[in-house]
Amino acid sequence: MSNQTAMINRYKWYETLAIYAGIALFLIFILCPFVEGFLVSLKPLSRLFSSPYRFWPENGSFDAYVTMWDSVPGFARYVFNSLFISTVATAIVLVLVVPAAYAFARFEFMGRGPLLAAFLAVNMFSGAVLLIPLFRLMRSLGVLNTYASMIIPGVAFLIPTAIWLLRTYMVRIPKELEEAAYVDGAGRFYTFRRVILPLAMPGITVVAITTFIGAYAQQFIFALTFNSKTEYMPLPIGLFSYFGRQEVIWNELMAASFVGIAPAMIVIFFLQRYLVSGLTAGAVK
Amino acid sequence: MNAKRSAVIFAWMLLLPAVLYISAIVIYPLFDTVNLSFTNASLRKTYKYVGWLNYDKIFNETFAAVIIRTFVWTFFSVLIKMIVGTFGALMLNTAVPGRALFRILTMPPWIVPMAIGIFMWGWMYNGQFGMISGMLQKWGLVDGPVAFLAYGSTAFWATIVTDVWIGVPMVTLYMLAAIQAIPQDLYEAAWTDGAGRMYRFRRITLPLLVPSLITMSMISLISTFNSFDIIWILTQGGPSGSTTTMIIDTYKTAIGSYKYGEGAARAVLICIFLSIFCFFYFRVTNRLSTETAR
């Protein structure tokens, strides 16, 4: 059987060539900004602002990676803020989502379908639509210009996907294990904590990673609107105020961007298998 | 019976924290938006109800242009995302060496902080020194530098291209999963009957992908309609309003000019559009799943 599949998938030389050409075209589009951004970070500023355009850096150096720490004084703080906001947001999401996903996966109750649909429907609103009341809410909670003003609204928009992913995972845990625990006289909460949680750990890990990445990638609108204190700004906003200046020092901005996205890149490289399964778990039924 | 009831109570206890959280941060603000849209709320502490005034104000030609622009922008962005994303998925599904690496390389735009990817595009669109303008001049396609973000028509397309770039990885990975879910024995049967590669693609792959294509287009439609970061960072809705979509317009009105009431009325309109999309999404996916079940 596998022999047959191998024969179906055998390509003639021109087919292989066409496939590689197609992949190259696709990946050039995807990776072009990163390649160009990286090359820019190596170019001295005088080279950068010169015509005609040159793709490859002459006299390239890593100077910008050193000088940027002085030019963007808050840089280390921005990276810390980004990581801190994402970590706390992920922790809150997990506390809320793990029990909820278990309820959706295992229990029959009236309104289960509509409630799940309602959770998923949250995904259709972006933060931008609800910004005005959220601003008023944050103001009356007295958390404007704090970490909380970025974490609290951010969490709400990470919940739907997390519930969906984890529910999908928990449905697959065999019911017999819980039934055995009940027969042995274990209570529901004990069973949840001692039987389900350990079994669901791989699923919870995937959800934690995707939630963290989501929280790290999407720090913009709440941080832009609800916080004006430099010391609490996450990386994207910190760099955005730098980006908005008249004279943008592009090589340093790109160097800072690359250092800032390094954590995300490392995560992609080592955990990409989990990421793909996490992203596509709910996709194909 | 009693055990069943206690199970239901237990389930609701598990759900309660998440339900309360969403109620406070999403449901309540949703109602508050509708409420505020009938007021003259601003930076002042007090406000009064003004009836339909905010809605009367927005129904004019400028706003009609914003709505049309939003739909055109969204339409092209979703269309191009689907074409490029599906093309990528078909390429990555081929059995050539290196495809595992190629799949990893697809992910960065989706996973890197969105704003940072957009900064890089901001540089590439730079007229004097940017890559795209520079390359086009080098190849003799344009005579002088093109400042993409400085003119209405080019800025419109530039923001679309960046939005496509951010959305493509998700479409590609989703469509790739959908392609791989197609039973392999269909291809084997067709191959045994002597069907060629293109024929198998047209008669097996494409028809079986239609449900996934529709589902992904709907998901993509909703997120594209909500797109804010890209336009805000690249053009802030300019030049002279040429990239001002409904979301950007709402943000400018509410946060830029502190007209919360008028901003809320705009947000309500966006919510109505989104609800219509969502309604179709659920109808279409429901019908698709019952059809495949049969």
Q: Which residue in chain B has the smallest CA separation from A280?
A: B174
Asked if the structure places residue B166 within a domain, the reply is yes
Mean of pLDDT over chain B: 85
Would the CB atoms of B165 and A30 count as touching at under 8 Å? yes
Q: How far apart are CA B62 and CA B85, in angstroms?
A: 34
CB contact under 8 A, A27 and B84: no
End-to-end alpha carbon distance in chain B: 35
Say yes or no to pLDDT of A284 above 50. no
Q: Which of B18, B114, B138 sits opposite A220 (nearest CB)?
A: B114
Q: Which residue of A has its CA nearest to B15?
A: A100
- pLDDT tens digit sequence for B14-31: 999 999 999 999 999 999
- Check CB contact under 8 Å for A163 and B188: no
Q: Which chain A residues have a beta carbon less than 8 Å from that of B263?
A: 132
pLDDT at residue A277, as a whole number: 61
Structure tokens at B235: 């053009």
Domain-located, residue B44: no
Query: What residue has token string 């279409």?
Result: B284
Tell whether A125 lies on the interface with B, counting CB pairs under 8 A.
Answer: yes
Claim to verify: residue B18 and residue B147 sit in the same structural domain: no
Scan residues 52-91 of A and list those with Cβ closer than 8 Å to B: 52-55, 82
* Nearest-CA distance A138 → chain B (Å): 10
Asked whether residue B34 is assigned to any structural domain, the reply reads: no
CB within 8 Å of chain B, chain A residues 140-179: 152-153, 155-156, 159, 163
Q: How many domains does chain B have?
A: 2
- Interchain proximity B26–A125, CB inside 8 Å: yes
CB contact under 8 A, B19 and A32: no
Q: Does one domain contain both B18 and B96? A: no
pLDDT at A180 over 90: no
Pair of tokens at residue B76 = 């092209």
**pLDDT (mean) for A23-30:** 92
> Largest Cα–Cα distance in chain B?
81
| B143-to-A171, B104, B140 alpha-carbon distances in Å | 61, 38, 7
| Selected residue of A12, A72, A125, A166 to mutate for chain B interface (largest B Cβ count, 10 A) | A125
Q: Are A135 and B251 in contact (CB under 8 A)?
A: no
**What's the pLDDT band for B1 if we cut at 50, 70, 90?**
low
pLDDT at residue A8 in the model: 67
Of the listed ranges A6-15, A252-261, B93-102, B207-216, the least confidently predicted one is A6-15
**pLDDT tens digit sequence for A99-117:** 999 999 888 888 888 888 8
- With pLDDT > 90 as the criterion, what percentage of chain B qualifies? 17
pLDDT band at A283 (very low <50, low <70, confident <90, very high): very low
Judge if A145 and A261 occupy the same domain. yes
Identity of the residue in A30, A54, A216 whose CB atom sits nearest the CB atom of B113: A216
Say whether both A13 and A91 belong to one domain: no
Q: Concatenated DSSP letters for B14-78? A: HHHHHHHHHIIIIIHHHHHHHHHTTB---SSS---B-TTHHHHHH-SHHHHHHHHHHHHHHHHHH
Residue B74's pLDDT is: 94
**pLDDT for res A98:** 94
Average pLDDT along chain A: 82
Closest CA in chain B for residue A33: B120
> CB–CB of B111 and A267 under 8 A?
yes
**The total number of structural domains that make up chain A:** 2
Average pLDDT over residues A81-99: 93
Please give the pLDDT value at position A246. Answer: 61
Same domain, residue pair A101 and A184: yes
The 10s digit of each residue's pLDDT in A32-60 is: 999 888 888 888 777 777 766 777 777 77
Q: Is B8–A109 a contact, with Cβ atoms under 8 angstroms apart?
A: yes
Q: What pLDDT shows up at residue B76?
A: 95
Q: What is the mean pLDDT of residues B235-243?
A: 83
Q: Are residues B200 and B289 in the same domain?
A: yes
Answer yes or no: do A85 and A28 share one domain.
Answer: no
Question: Which residues in chain A have their CB less than 8 angstroms from residue B44's CB?
Answer: none
Q: What is the DSSP string of A50-86?
A: -SS--SSPSS--SHHHHHHHHHSTTHHHHHHHHHHHH
Both A6 and A75 in one domain: the answer is no
- Of the residues A25, A40, A61, the one at which a domain ends: A61
pLDDT level of residue A285 (50, 70, 90 thresholds) = very low
* Percent of chain B whose predicted confidence (pLDDT) is above 70: 98
Percent of chain A at pLDDT exceeding 70? 88
pLDDT of the residue at A96: 94
| Nearest-CA distance B5 → chain A (Å) | 9
Domain match, B68 and B9 both: no
Residue B201 carries which DSSP code?
I
Q: Do A129 and B250 touch (CB under 8 A)?
A: yes
List the domain range (segments joined by +) for residue B105.
Answer: 52-293
Is B82 found in the same domain as B7? Answer: no
For residue A190, give the amino acid letter: Y
Q: Which of B95, B134, B278 sits opposite A121 (nearest CB)?
A: B278
A285 inside domain: no
Binary contact (A261, B11; C-beta < 8 A):
no
Q: Please name the residues between 32 and 51 in chain A that touch chain B, using a CB distance below 8 Å.
A: 32-34, 36-37, 40, 48-51
pLDDT tens-digit series, residues B121-176: 988 888 777 788 888 887 877 777 778 888 888 899 999 999 999 999 889 988 88
Statement: residue B195 has pLDDT above 90: no
Mutate which of B84, B112, B133, B288 to test chain A, going by most A C-beta atoms within 10 A?
A: B112
Q: What is the pLDDT of residue A88?
A: 94
One-letter amino acid of B90? L
pLDDT at B293: 53
* Domain shared by A119 and A250, yes or no: yes
Which of A40-49, B49-58, B177-186 is predicted least confidently? A40-49
pLDDT digits (tens, 9 = 90+) for A145-174: 899 999 999 999 899 888 988 888 888 888
In chain A, residues 212-231 whose CB comes closer than 8 Å to chain B: 213, 216-221, 224-225
Q: Give the model's pLDDT for residue A268.
A: 66
Show the domain range for A44. Answer: 2-61
